[in-house]
Chains A and B, each alone.
Chain A
Amino acid sequence: MNTKKYAIPLIFVILALFPPFFLSQYWLHVMIISLFYAMMASSWNLIAGYTGQISFAHAAFSGVGAYASGMLAVNLGVAPWLGVLIGTGVAAFLGIGLGYLCIRMGGIYLSLTTLGFSEILRIVITNEDKWTRGTMGLQVPGFFTVYSKTSYYYLFLGVTVLFLILIHRIIHSEMGLTFRAVLNDELAASSSGINTIRVRVLAFTLSSAMAGLAGGLYGHYLMLITPDIPSLGQMFLVLAMAVIGGMGSFAGPVIGAFALEILSEYIRIYGEYHVLLFGLIALAMARFAPEGVMGILHKGWRSKLIDVRG
């Protein structure tokens, strides 16, 4: 039972070790970016898919992580490894703050407040010159003394796998059960002794911290941190990945991240129109397969393997 359960993820991880041996530098870059989006979409799924809180501040929190680490590196010479961890902490801290402020509102108000937070952060970063260098961006050092895409690929792969293990454990823990209870029916959860506000702030904080970590890694990989990282364009891309892959499913956001990132490389020649195409795909999915790619796969499996579960 246990070996079977771990076999498929293990095969994927082993297969994921090979790309640097045969991919060009360009496609290796695409893989690294895909891994970043996989982290972003999966951690966003933790709040949106499992506790039903549609936050638009996820990209903003990745920006918090990136800028916190970047500014520490540039101004104080803090090593990126340490900076990224501090950035994660700062994102978590802001996550608690924003969480407590707006989670009581719930629903659409939470979305609007996080949207506002996201835009305020982006505008401040864009207009600030001394610390964030505005639209010019912050030039930061990388993680490795010798630049190599292969090293970054394995770093991103390692952290993504850690993220996924952590998310898997959270979902299948009793804490994850309370997340799902709150998503299913907040009043019933509250009447069953669940402190729903605490559950939602906890999910929000965990998810924000993960975005902060992903953003920090991303910034030190690009070695240039710009206001594009905490932008709403980035946010909606992450959202589209989670929705198309399948919100509330474990593998969905990862599939969505790779599918959209790779697709966007092929349609890059059409310029801004690729955003339009993503929108159309997301709309079509919302209409015909609201549970995303994972929903479609699940239906296929269920009809074939109806007796195997349990």
Chain B
Amino acid sequence: MSTPMLIEGKGLTKSFGGLAAVRGVDFHLSEGQIVGLIGPNGAGKTTLFNLVSGVFHSDTGILLYKGMNITRLKPFEICRLGVARTFQIVRPFLKMSCLENTLVGIIGRNNKNGGREERREEAQKLLKFIGLGKSGQTLASHLTLIEKKRLEMARALATRPKLLLLDEVLAGLNPSEIIQALELIEVIRTQLKVTIFWIEHVMGAIMKASDRIIVLDQGEKIKEGIPEEVVSDPRVIDAYLGESDA
């Protein structure tokens, strides 16, 4: 590894009432990478994201961000360090306008720079970038699902993340929308220099976009590698087909 490590988890375990949702998972992302996180339903993917973003704290294991221990930090502290996320089931602020939604991300930053007007302009620019330029005054509850997903992305980007956690942003999109979304994510990676950790069920897309894939099954990491390796691995195929080698 020549590139510096951005985030690293070692032996992360999280149990809910005796059931280990995530068990002894190691992972790491270097700056500029796109890493895909896949696995069948209930594999612990979203739980792992919740650990990384501080929504839950792991029972054992350690989480390092730029070498700093962030295992016990709260969500807003982790966000301010530079880790932003979207949610599998979208959670925009429904009773607020798109502009206000985006502003919240800017206000949450340690470094707000400029006055109120400049922050509004920045939010408007972000909305335009994400493709919601004309919806600034629209209430988030009036948006379509796809637009809500875009809005969440704008809010996440407003926090100026170094690492972006995307939780099934492609679900429910049609093929042409998927192509648009992939282009957008590529721009986020190259132009905004954001590292991306990405849960996805749309296999074709995630295989194409990712530098590396991590596969979870029943809370454990069963495979990690480049997309070509992963798809041909018999354990991964078993996990997806629901067969057991026991």
Contact = CB atoms under 8 A, between A and B. Distances in A.
Given A174-B107, A180-B96, A194-B104, A188 B79 contact: no
A180 B93 contact: yes
Nearest to A185: B91
A178 B107 contact: yes
A193 B109 contact: yes
A95 B108 CA distance: 24
A310 B139 CA distance: 13
A88 interface: no
Nearest to A181: B104
Interface string B73-86: 01110011000110
B142 interface: no
Interface residues of A, number: 20
Interface in A98-152: none
B74 A190 contact: yes
A48 B84 CA distance: 29
Nearest to A174: B107
B177 to A, nearest CB: 23
A192 B74 contact: no
Contacts of A165: none
Contact of B93 (A185, A190, A196, A310): A185
B83 to A, nearest CB: 9
A181 B93 contact: yes
Contacts of A180: 93, 95-96, 100
B123 to A, nearest CB: 11
Interface string A159-196: 00000000000000010011011011101111111111
B70 interface: no
B92 interface: yes
B12 to A, nearest CB: 18
Given A188-B87, A188-B91, A174 B75 contact: no
B80 A193 contact: yes
B84 to A, nearest CB: 7
B155 interface: yes
Nearest to A191: B75
A10 B76 CA distance: 41
Interface of A is mostly: helix
Chain B interface residue bracket vs A: 20 to 34
Given A177-B107, A178-B107, A181-B93, A192 B155 contact: yes
A194 B80 CA distance: 9
B95 A184 contact: yes
Nearest to B81: A193
B195 interface: no
A268 B158 CA distance: 55
B94 interface: yes
B116 interface: yes
B185 interface: no
Contact of B85 (A174, A183, A191): A191
A194 B107 contact: yes
Contacts of B93: 180-181, 184-185, 188-189
Given A185-B91, A191-B84, A177 B104 contact: yes
A255 B119 CA distance: 34
Given A187-B91, A188-B91, A194-B108, A177 B155 contact: no
B62 interface: no
Contact of A187 (B75, B105, B107, B109): B75
B76 A194 contact: yes
A196 B93 CA distance: 14
Contacts of A196: 76
Interface in B133-190: 137, 155-156, 158-159
A192 B108 contact: yes
Nearest to B119: A174
Most buried by A among B79, B84, B91, B155: B91
B22 interface: no
Interface of A: 174, 177-178, 180-181, 183-185, 187-196, 309-310
8 contacts: A177-B107, A180-B96, A187-B55, A188-B92, A190-B75, A191-B76, A192-B108, A193-B76
